[in-house]
Structures are given as C-alpha cells and as structure tokens.
Amino acid sequence: MRRLALLGLIAATQLGFAYAGVANPGATDPRMGSWTLISAQSTLDPPNKLTITSLHHVVHVVMSGDTRLDITAKPDGHPTPVPGNPALNQIEMHRIDKKQTEVTEKKDGAVVATVRDKLSSNGNELTITTARKGHPDQITVWTRSGGAKVAGDPFSGAWTQDLSKSRLRQGLLLKIETDGKNGVLFSGEFSYAARFDGKQYDLKNSRNDTVTIELVDPHTVDSTYRRDNQVVQKDRSVVSADRQQMTIMTTGMYESGQHVTEKLVFKRQ
C-alpha cells in the first residue's frame, strides 16, 4: 500500500509539471524538453527521467525509471480526466506566470493535492512542490538533460510509398502540412483541410464525402471517412519515433459492399 501511494504521488507530481506547458496553447513553453531528477535535492528519491513534448495543443508525458508513466492529454481550460492513476482521476491547471504553474489534483471531485512548479531563471532547473492536507510538502528538483523537444509536427512533409513494405504497390505520394491553427492540409489521390475538433470536413477528388480526424497522441492520427452519412473507412496513421516512416492501417468497405483491411507504409522524402 505504501508503494502504491508513492507511485500515485510521483505520477501526480509529473502530471502537474506536464500540464504546465500548455496554459497558452500554441506558445513555446520553456518547460518542454527532457529532465532528470536530482535525488540529493529531492524529498523523493526515485531514479526517474522525464520527457515532455507538445503538439497541436496536446501534451505527451513520458517518465521512465523506477516508475513508468505515459500520458497524452489535451487541456482546454476545463477539468481534464486522468485515467489509470490510483492517486487522482482529474486535474485543473492554472498558469501563474511564465515560470510558474499551479495544478489542482482531484479524486472523485475532492481535492487531493496542489502542485506548483517553478522554473529557474536560467531555465535549467525545475522545482515541483506537491502539497497535500495533513502531509508535509513533497519537493522534487529536476535538471534539464535535453533541449526543448517541440520541433515540428512529425506528420508534416512529403511521403512516398515504400513498395518493399506494402502489399498494394501503387506508388502513392502524400503531402501533409500544418495550418498553424490546430489543423492539417492533406494532399494525395484526394485532398482535404481539417482540424482535430471532431467535425466533418469535405473531401476533394474522393469517392467519399467527408473526413473526421483525431489526434490520438503526437505520433498517431485516426481518420474516419463517410459517404452518404455512413462510415465507410477508418485509417490509423502512425509515424515512427525517428519520424522517417509512416504506417497507415486502413479498414473499409468498397462500393460493392466488400470489406477490406490494408497496411500501407510510407517513407519520408
């Protein structure tokens, strides 16, 4: 039970830090990057490392070491659910200033902790203080181990089909661009301009009518295609960690009614 509580507290602490980076969507936050815990200066002593990235208003948090944490979330000024954490299931974030953020953590609607993080003046050290009623404050101090990892969208660019890895050898070419407003411009055999907002957007030069896109995490996008208001195709596009390969898994139905599942692999030009 003690270890479970500790894991929950550590995860909660990292969540407080992670959401700090997006109080102003679209801005480059100085907290983005890679961090290593300074055990000698922290009341907690797990050998952890933390990486924070941001894309399309979504923050991806990965913690490795004594514990493992991998969370993707989209803060929008409302309470954000946090599934699978024994210490909390919801957070609310408030940006104090450029170098300080406060996060309120809740469990079933009740406040369980308040997390405040503060970045040093040189941007190389982050101090996170977690306050819980009836408990001493928990303090962790992190040092920057890598630069900010907020470089462009891993999907953006020109892609050509890798014929050696695709069953359907069609020689497809794709071009994907961001529009700077939480959306993408896609062109290939068909084209569209769409945003990650759950709405349907018109397709051009396609047998289908509309597309809806969802950002699952910074490297994964789900696309749903409709024809005559019926879902006829679903794609999941995944870009590799090195951003050099994109795999698209397609499930759909031909106009004849025949179901099809295909995997297409693309390499960056």
pLDDT at residue 184 in the model: 86
Residues 203-230 have pLDDT tens digits of 999 989 999 998 887 788 999 999 999 9
State the average pLDDT for the chain: 77
Pick the more confident residue, 88 or 147.
Answer: 88
Give the count of beta carbons closer than 10 Å to the beta carbon of residue 59. 24
pLDDT at residue 59 in the model: 64
Q: Which CATH class is domain 2-146?
A: mainly beta
Whether the CB-CB separation of 59 and 53 falls below 8 Å is answered with yes
Residues 164-187 have pLDDT tens digits of 887 776 778 899 987 666 678 999
Task: For residues 245-267, give the mean pLDDT.
Answer: 86
pLDDT-based confidence at 4, cuts 50/70/90? very low
Which residue in this structure is represented by tokens 């789900």? Answer: 222
The helix/strand count (H/E) of the chain reads as 1, 20
Percent of the chain with pLDDT over 70: 72
pLDDT at residue 91 in the model: 80
2 Cβ contact partners less than 8 Å away, ≥ 6 residues apart: none
Fold of 157-268: Lipocalin (2.40.128)
Task: For residues 91-115, give the mean pLDDT.
Answer: 84
The pTM (predicted TM-score) of the whole model is 0.49
Is residue 29's pLDDT more than 90? no
Domain residue limits, the chain: 2-146, 157-268
CA distances from 192 to 14, 52, 159, 173, 206 (A): 37, 30, 16, 15, 10
Same fold, 2-146 and 157-268: yes
